[in-house]
Amino acid sequence: MTETIATPRVIIVGAGLGALYAALELAPRPVLVISPEALGQGASSAWAQGGVAAAMDPVDTAAAHARDTMGAGAGTVDAAVADMVTQDARQHILDLTRLGTPFDRQPDGGYVMSREAAHSFARVVRVRGDQAGAEIMRALIAQVRNAPSVQVLEGVTATGLRMQDGRVTGVEVTRADGSQPVAITGPAVLLAGGGSGGLYAVTTNPPRIRGQVIGMAARAGAVIADAEFVQFHPTAIASGEDPAPLATEALRGEGAHLVNRRDERFMPAVHPDAELAPRDIVARAVYAQRQAGLEPALDTRDCLGARILDEFPAVAGACTRAGIDPTRTPIPVAAAAHYHMGGVAVDVDGRASLPGLWVCGEASSTGLHGANRLASNGLLEALVYARRAAGSIKAALGTDPGDAALIRLPDLAPAELPDPALVARLRRAMTDGAGVVRDGAGLAACLRRIAEIEAAQPDCPALLNMTATATLIAAAALMRRESRGAHFRTDFPQTAPEGRRSRLTLAQALALRDGPTSPETP
């Protein structure tokens, strides 16, 4: 029998930007943040290099930002959501500044802005070149540590949602290093635990980010939207590290060029915007060069030279670890799973289809990103929807319960962890069958392999969360018989006249995967 602990605290799963921002927004209402690692470790937000997109320059506008978002999203962006998020962007930058984020500033006090792919203006607010995510997280962590309303359970991971009469009532948690579960019930649950990049063999995401939070919600019956749209970053550093270090898009904004081993630039022949084309186009071009044995690389020598060492310390550090001197040689790159546009379907206030459940950040699908996220809109979306979800939760719960006792977990017996060999097989299956370039036969084979992996360890909730999300991605990709944005099928290379978002439950995806007919003919 699983032990149950009841609390009046709002339960937040995750410890990235969305989770911590929401925790602060909920104050003074008591909050419990569930973090698998110490705060600041293992969250995708802290690894974000580019920054936050916002129309801070007087010559730029929120309307232009919304237009660029719509353009990059390839016909499936919700226009009302794009308008709302871009209108809110400026205020969130100002609020993060007030909370202590040391954004790069001009001598006159204005913000230093970077240009990134598919933006019509330089509108990405940054910190020390490529340190935005880390510095924003540092500022938020300091605020959370000093917030009397927030308790953080570190070294604890959520493995499932608790349901009663169709409503989410809490979560099941274990020690991050493996233990028997304990149920924690509360008045509301906010999932803010990241995306799905780690389901792929080559990814820029932290090791734990493998679709578990989306899978938890899906296993409880939540509707998942746009699962097939996984963004592959075109310039992960191909140094053999896992996860792959990222060469931020801001480098291309500074003028860095993509070249192959013949020292040929290949992007001008692919798209008029060359290296600053939408990410899906650049990623497929890089992927094609690597598949052809042409060893794509990012050349920063002419545009930055030695400046890269001081202005982009994360990139410089990754190069040093790999024995690469970017001031002398181009940086080898590969396309890597980077951001999941799909996730738990939510409304404009972050509410999921299950009562009692809210979702923000990469685990959600709001309609902002469409088929291809505009660069640096990810952190922005997390900020906007963290605040909106917090406001919605406050409105739903009514009277503040006042003080709440601290949660203390009992000693827990060890429990089974996902078999690393099965996780490696899953990551390989997703890369081979549901990667940068897809087709029906490959997606069908991917679904069969996911089912086999799941059957090999059927009683491990953490693995089931991963396979649930993997199943949803592959099934939605098989059902979308066109190419759009980050979803490219060689057997259906054309884009349909009308763009439509996908909505799928896990039950529907499993019916396709495990049904009596071949999944090649949905």
* Closest listed residue to residue 136, CA positions, set 346, 425, 376: 376
Which residues, in sequence order, are CB contacts of 439 under 8 Å at separation 6+? 489, 490, 491
- Residue 399 and residue 385: Cα distance in Å, rounded? 22
CA torsion, ordered 329, 334, 335, 338, to nearest 10 deg: -80
Annotated catalytic residue: which of 9, 126, 162, 279? 279
At 136, is the secondary structure helix, strand, or coil? helix
What phi, psi does 485 have (nearest 5°)? Answer: 55, -130
- Residue 390 and residue 396: Cα distance in Å, rounded? 10
Count Cα atoms within 13 angstroms, Cβ side, for 372.
Answer: 28
Please state, as a whole number, how many other Cβ atoms lie within 10 Å of the Cβ of residue 479: 17
Task: State CA 84 to chain mean position distance.
Answer: 20
Task: Yes or no: say if 259 and 299 are a contact pair by the CB < 8 Å rule.
Answer: yes
User: Exposed, middle or buried, 312 (CB in 10 Å: 0-12/13-18/19+)?
Assistant: buried
Supply the DSSP string of 95-113, one letter for each residue: HHHHTT----B-TTSPBPE
Catalytic status, residue 373: no
Q: Is the dihedral of CA 179, 183, 186, 189 positive or negative?
A: positive
Task: Yes or no: say if 449 and 488 are a contact pair by the CB < 8 Å rule.
Answer: no
CA torsion, ordered 120, 125, 127, 130, to nearest 10 deg: -30
| Straight-line distance from the first to the last Cα atom of the chain, in angstroms, rounded to the nearest whole number | 40
Q: List residues with catalytic annotation.
A: 279
